[in-house]
Amino acid sequence: MSRPVIESFFDPQTSTVSYVVAEPDGPHCAIIDSVLEFDPKSGRTATASADRLIDFVRNKQLAVDWILETHAHADHLSAAPYLQRALGGKTAIGAHIVDVQRIFAGIFNLEPDFATDGSQFDRLFADGDRFRIGQLEVEVMHTPGHTPACLTYLIGGTAFVGDTLFMPDYGTARADFPGGDAAALYRSIQKVLALPANTKLYLCHDYLTPERAEHAWETSVGEQLAHNVHVRQGISESDFVAMREARDKTLDMPRLLLPAVQINIRAGQLPPAESNGTSYLKTPVNLL
């Protein structure tokens, strides 16, 4: 089983880690969880984070097969359309993105012709699907809980888990967004932790703790089982759900949640321009 060549890119503004994942003896690669910068005060986007990915791919003379999302992020905007125009590749996300689209189409009262069938993406993956990055085989694991559409990508003894797990000292993702479910998250984590102990886990985010001064985003199944503060071995589903639901009630809404969700359920595209040629994002007022 060939292990992929992995290059990580940390975006400090959103604490997001993006990845270029390449076959070891060929040019083919995929990009996972890209970032488009967004300033909510001015409504302007920027591409510095995505440009780092583009420069790396071009300098290494790689060919992008896929631009992958682990889920529709609520804390950063996807740069998938920008990357696709520059590098090619097919965009993909979990098939349950249709559930996320239906939920948020209602919350934001999106335009009547907004499609809730996932057609904004080139490919929708179901649990157990397999595809290739050149000679690398990728298996898809549906790992809902943080959102209904979360996926884990299994590639040659590594797993890209999105927001399902964080570093062991930080724990697990929240499950209180619309469509989230703490019990489903626990069960998804157990699927990940049933992988071999030496499976390398690559995370989508890292947040510092008082005990750790440097960011990290690579861990393993064995480390999570032994040390994860929320789901280490021996913690029951009921205990986890009680902890997760209590903790989620104390968390602030992510700074970019409103713009991020509206854009990411469109595969990173801006809403359709209005009659003046400008795109607009909505802010629900006094949402119940």
Residue 273's contacts (CB-CB under 8 Å, 6 or more residues apart) are 279
Q: Is residue 282 domain-resident?
A: no
Q: Is the pLDDT of residue 1 over 70?
A: no
**Structural domain containing residue 241:** 5-252
Helices (H) and strands (E) in the chain, counts: 7, 14
CB contact set of 209 (below 8 Å; sequence gap of 6+)? 169, 170
- Residue 162 resides in a domain: yes
Count: domains in the chain: 1
Extract the tokens encoding 105.
Answer: 């189409």
Report yes or no on 286 lying in a domain.
Answer: no
Pairing between β-strand 136-142 and β-strand 130-133 as defined by DSSP bridges: antiparallel
CATH number at residue 116: 3.60.15.10
At 232, the pLDDT band (50, 70, 90 cuts) reads very high
Q: Report pLDDT digits (tens) over 161-210.
A: 999 999 999 999 999 999 999 999 999 999 999 999 999 999 999 998 88
Interval 98-136: pLDDT, tens: 999 999 999 999 999 999 999 999 999 999 999 999 999
pTM of the model: 0.96
Is residue 108 one of the residues assigned to a domain? yes
